[in-house]
């Protein structure tokens, strides 16, 4: 069990996924986690399990060491400026999850020289399968470990440079939505060729998991595994080529680049 207290400021979609993941791993005592948002209604189920909830951000960070800020990019700087008088640079470690907001902007809005990290997890935190990219200008090993250990509790972590945080947002965080849309399309195809939705979903989700595990465990290039499936003159290559003629890979790459350009830097 990790002993430090954690405040999660702005527990919306992402914040709640993280809290759910932490609850299931039991890596932090639940009474050491405080979650905030203005309307507390949909955090009440966490409170019943022992997580503290409040609308008072300054009260939430009072005893906390780790401050995880899961606010939207449009209001994070304003909320942090309000919170600044309550931030103690000797005690607090601040981790922002906000897309496109730099460490420099955060430091300027707080006006204090505290350790600031940016982290980009994804909503698979809910089931401890997030990959979280982390960057900081903090070279303190102990604090680095604390931040890494927080996100390792809900999946795995990768240390990157800040200039790659937007790219990490696109392939790691937006990536969940791209993959889910791909899965939905496969299920729809499965229904059209004969399966009921439930059975198609079971086959497709396990197939996606299996394909991922092949790459994760064997560390192979996707095309190496694709070659094993594509029988010459067979049905796989016929289908794959038809997908490519219709712009499958191109559509994905264009979508990724469009998402990337959409992030204001």
Ligand X SMILES: NC(=O)C1=CN([C@@H]2O[C@H](COP(=O)(O)OP(=O)(O)OC[C@H]3O[C@@H](n4cnc5c(N)ncnc54)[C@H](OP(=O)(O)O)[C@@H]3O)[C@@H](O)[C@H]2O)C=CC1
What is the binding site for ligand X (CB under 6 A)? 9-10, 12-15, 36-39, 57, 70-73, 75, 79, 97-99, 120, 122-123, 173
The binder of 69, among ligand A1CAB, ligand X, none, by C-beta within 5 to 8 A per type, is: none
Per the CB < 8 A criterion, the answer to whether 49 and 27 are in contact is no
Residues 155-174 binding ligand A1CAB (CB under 6 A) are: 169, 173-174
Cβ atoms of 158 and 134 within 8 Å: the answer is yes
We find the least distance from the C-beta atom of residue 41 to ligand X, in angstroms, to be 8
* Residue 36 interaction partner, one of ligand X, ligand A1CAB, none, beta carbon < 5-8 Å per kind: ligand X
Output DSSP code: residue 132: E
Closer of 73 and 84 to ligand A1CAB (Cβ): 73
110 binds, among ligand X, ligand A1CAB, none (CB under 5 to 8 A by kind): none
Provide the H-helix boundaries in the chain. Answer: 13-25, 44-49, 57-62, 73-83, 103-110, 141-152, 165-168, 175-192, 197-218, 222-229, 235-245, 248-262
Residue 89 Cβ vs ligand A1CAB, minimum distance, rounded to whole Å? 28
According to the annotation, is 211 in a ligand binding site? no
- The answer to whether 55 and 40 have CB atoms below 8 angstroms apart is yes
Please, are residues 114 and 140 in contact by the beta-carbon 8 Å criterion? no
| Residue of this chain nearest to ligand X (CB atom) | 12
- Is 11 marked within a binding site? yes
With respect to ligand A1CAB, which residue has the nearer C-beta, 10 or 115?
10
Q: Which is nearer to ligand A1CAB, 57 or 169 (CB)?
A: 169
Smallest gap from residue 236 Cβ to ligand X (A) = 32
In angstroms, the CA 152 to CA 3 distance is 15
How many residues are recorded in the chain? Answer: 265
Report the nearest approach of ligand A1CAB to the CB of residue 227 (Å). Answer: 33
Handedness of CA 64, 93, 8, 179 (dihedral sign): negative
67 binds ligand A1CAB (CB under 6 A): no
Name the minimum Å distance from CB 52 to ligand X.
Answer: 14
Q: Which is closer to ligand X, CB of 173 or CB of 200?
A: 173
- Residue 38's binding partner among ligand A1CAB, ligand X, none (Cβ under 5 to 8 angstroms by kind) is ligand X
Is 12 annotated to bind a ligand? Reply is yes
Helix, strand, or coil (residue 9) = strand
Residue 35 and residue 12 in contact, taking contact as beta carbons nearer than 8 Å: no
Residues of 50-81 as b/e, b for ≥16 C-beta within 10 angstroms?
A: ebbbbeebeebbeebbbbbbbbeeeebbebbe
Residue 13 annotated as part of some ligand binding site: yes
Nearer to ligand X (CB atom), residue 68 or residue 204: 68
Task: Give the residues lining the site for ligand A1CAB (CB under 6 A).
Answer: 99, 169, 173-174
């Amino acid at each position: 069990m990790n002993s430090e207290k954690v405040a999660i400021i702005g527990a919306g979609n992402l914040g709640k996924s993280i809290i759910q993941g932490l609850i299931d791993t039991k890596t932090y005592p639940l009474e050491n986690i405080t979650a905030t948002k203005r309307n507390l209604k949909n955090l009440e189920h966490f409170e019943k399990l022992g997580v503290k909830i409040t609308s008072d951000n300054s009260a939430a960070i009072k005893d906390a060491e780790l401050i995880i800020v899961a606010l939207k990019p449009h209001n994070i700087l304003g909320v942090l400026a309000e919170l600044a008088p309550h931030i103690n640079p000797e005690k607090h470690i601040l981790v922002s999850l906000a897309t496109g907001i730099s460490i420099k902007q955060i430091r300027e809005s707080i006006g204090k020289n505290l350790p600031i990290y940016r982290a980009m997890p994804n909503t698979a935190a809910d089931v401890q399968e997030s990959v979280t990219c982390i960057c900081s200008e903090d070279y303190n090993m102990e604090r680095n470990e604390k931040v890494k250990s927080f996100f390792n509790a809900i999946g795995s972590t990768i240390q990157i440079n800040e200039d790659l945080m937007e790219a990490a947002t696109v392939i790691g965080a937006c990536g969940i939505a791209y993959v889910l849309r791909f899965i939905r399309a496969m299920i729809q195809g499965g229904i059209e060729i004969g399966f009921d939705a439930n059975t198609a979903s079971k086959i497709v989700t396990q197939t996606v998991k299996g394909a991922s595990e092949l790459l994760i465990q064997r560390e192979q290039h996707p095309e190496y595994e694709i070659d094993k499936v594509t029988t010459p003159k067979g049905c796989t290559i016929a289908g794959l080529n038809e997908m490519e003629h219709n712009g499958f890979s191109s559509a994905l790459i264009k979508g990724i680049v469009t998402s990337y350009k959409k992030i204001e830097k």
